[in-house]
Amino acid sequence: MSEEMMNHGHSGHETEFEHEDLAARGVFAFMIGLAVVGVVIYFIIVGMYSFLDKYERSQMATASPLAPSTEVTSRHIDFAPGQGDYVDKKFKDNGAPMLEWNERGQFRDFLMDQENRLNSYGWVDENAGVAHIPIERAMELIVERKLPVYQQGNLDAGSPAAGKVPAQKSAAK
């Protein structure tokens, strides 16, 4: 075998390595410096966020003069009995949106009002002669008066007037 193979591929000159290791003092100084910088950055970020949070709260406009701003936002506002109606009246008077102080109760009242309106007679606009009737009665009147039925098979998609021609009933002839 050749001499190069015996020296593991190295030529005749001697191979050197680093005789001095990295000092432990330098490693520990770097670690301590990194920890100090991390703590300083932590306090800078906490201070910045607390400042920005206080600034945002001071710049926020109150949604309503009747609802005082609080630190913690809540979906439930406690009113004295009967005060909710007073708040609703004040909001209606100044044109502001209604404050939901009892969401479930108000939603239930809204649904009951809609149900009563669907099942009762009343005026929508008395001056114009517009009234509302129960939905069941309205469906009966539609069946009695036989509103026109349009043929579906003869409609031409491109013709706007095609949908306006009522179907002829052969049973009536």
Encode pLDDT of 86-114 as tens digits: 666 666 666 666 667 678 888 899 999 99
Tell me which of 59, 77, 110 is where a domain ends. 59
Is the model's pLDDT at 162 over the cut of 70? no
Report the share of the chain in percent with pLDDT over 70: 57
The residue ranking higher by pLDDT, 127 or 156, is 127
Least confident of 18-27, 36-45, 91-100, 143-152: 91-100
Domain membership of residue 129 as a residue range: 102-151
Query: Does a structural domain hold residue 144?
Result: yes
pLDDT of residue 103: 81
Of 160, 162, 143, nearest to 152 by C-alpha is 162
pLDDT of residue 72: 46
Query: Does a structural domain hold residue 93?
Result: no
Q: What are phi and psi of 132, to 5 degrees?
A: -120, 145
Query: Does a structural domain hold residue 137?
Result: yes
Query: Does a structural domain hold residue 15?
Result: no
pLDDT of residue 78: 57
Query: Does a structural domain hold residue 47?
Result: yes
* Cα distances (angstroms) measured from residue 157 to each of 154, 161, 166: 10, 10, 16
Domain count, the chain: 2
Query: Does a structural domain hold residue 36?
Result: yes
Average pLDDT across the chain, whole number = 74
Query: Does a structural domain hold residue 6?
Result: no
Is the model's pLDDT at 76 over the cut of 50? no
Report the share of the chain in percent with pLDDT over 90: 18
Query: Does a structural domain hold residue 72?
Result: no
pLDDT of residue 98: 63
